[in-house]
Amino acid sequence: MTKLFGTDGIRGKANVYPMTAEVALRIGAAVGRYFSASREGVHRVVIGKDTRLSGYMFENALTAGLTSSGMNVLLLGPVPTPAVGLLTRSMRADLGVMISASHNPATDNGIKFFGPDGFKLSDAVEAEIEKMIADGVEMNPADKIGRAKRIDDGRFRYVERVKSSFPRQMRLDGLKVVVDCANGAAHRVAPETLWELGAEVVEIGVAPNGFNINEMCGSTHPERAAAAVLSHAADVGICLDGDADRVILIDETGKVGDGDQFMALMASRWAAEERLAKNALVATVMSNLGLERFLQGEGVTLERTAVGDRYVVERMRDGGFNLGGEQSGHIVMTDHATTGDGLMAGLQFLAEMVRSGKKSSELLHNFDPVPQLLKNVRFEAGQTPLENMHVKQAIAQAEADLAGQGRLLIRKSGTEPLVRVMAEHEDAGLMARAVDSVVDAVSDAVRI
């Protein structure tokens, strides 16, 4: 059996291995057995999903597997990924499951797991579960099968939790906010939360049909929201992805601000208020050198991790940090949540607008980013282009060319069959030549 778990659970094209109903049933049985064996008594699991058509199939298959292992299943329906982390802990569940492929197209889907503490599972636990799936799981006797029922108030619980992270006595009255929900899991909760806090809300991406999640909208396609900000003369735009665990912000001029700019703002603000634990921010190797230089000027340390919000959270927990995230818009604030929460991060930005009285454009440009270029090369299953001698030589030469004022990062995606080639350098021409030389070498290797 090929490896199932990537950097964020299991992901792939729906109805193609490993994202099939059969595999999902086996996964449910194995993960249910793993967590029900950890303690005595009644065992329960909460399951959320985004708005993909295949979510129905995986919800039913996982429910069958989990109940076969004796788990009682609580079905939340469409809710953001951070809601599953929150409700796993608040409802005293042994396990939380989110069915989503995040920002991927509607034809993909995925399965993410949360432990009883509301945090995503570690690599070690995932490896144990994967072994159980491969070995097979002994079924419970007929009188030990679990039950399943739908929970109607899950989204309302989440809305109240998100609102509680917003400063008390503060309101959003007078602010016009465009919110793009990517036709995904937050299509109800995000507009509801913003409206209840007093904002005038312009909603887009709130009509999911099973096929249009992330389709030319949301955090990966902020152009539509940027145009709406301008046409409605809005103060700010908030773009979420399909499962609402990431956010991209748009200022009143239509300019897009990424996760690095948001983290720069919050880290400097929290440091000034002595709220930033260990006076450090945790971000991944993808975050811009400009962010690192800005933080140095603020006296804040930047801790870098591998790509993936799960690795950011693991470093935060290990080091006792409370703010971290990714350039792509995953923002983790462990004072409030156990994983990236796009809506909660958006509210923190709005709170800073209200507190400071500044326009969003003043808050979203904290540093000038070092020129950065990212290109992807797709490869087929079984190919190992990064082990090719010519690719290694091209990487070594590119690193030598960029040494001193920039950096080169080569990595395989944890969610798609892609080699990602990223470089940063003050000289954009030199940077482009370095990236292209590696991309060409990888492309040649995958054609062999």
Q: Residue 417 in contact with residue 381, Cβ under 8 Å?
A: yes
The strand order across the sheet containing 247-250 reads 200-204, 176-180, 236-240, 247-250, 256-257
User: Which residues are CB-neighbours of 151 under 8 A, at least 6 positions away?
Assistant: 46, 74, 75, 76, 77
What's the CA gap between 114 and 104, in Å, rounded? 20
Q: Is 6 in contact with 121 (CB distance < 8 Å)?
A: no
Tokens of 57: 């199939």
Q: Is 102 a catalytic residue?
A: yes
Phi and psi (nearest 5°) for 389? -60, -45
Pairing mode, if any, of strands 418-424 and 407-412?
Answer: antiparallel
Token pair listed for 8? 């964020």
Q: Which two tokens stand for residue 232?
A: 């409605």
How many residues in the chain?
448
From the list 102, 219, 268, 360, the catalytic residue is: 102
374 neighbors 421 (Cβ within 8 angstroms)? yes
- 284 - beta bridge partners? 305
For residues 79 and 100, what is the distance between their CA atoms, to the nearest angstrom? 10
Q: Which residues are marked as active site?
A: 102
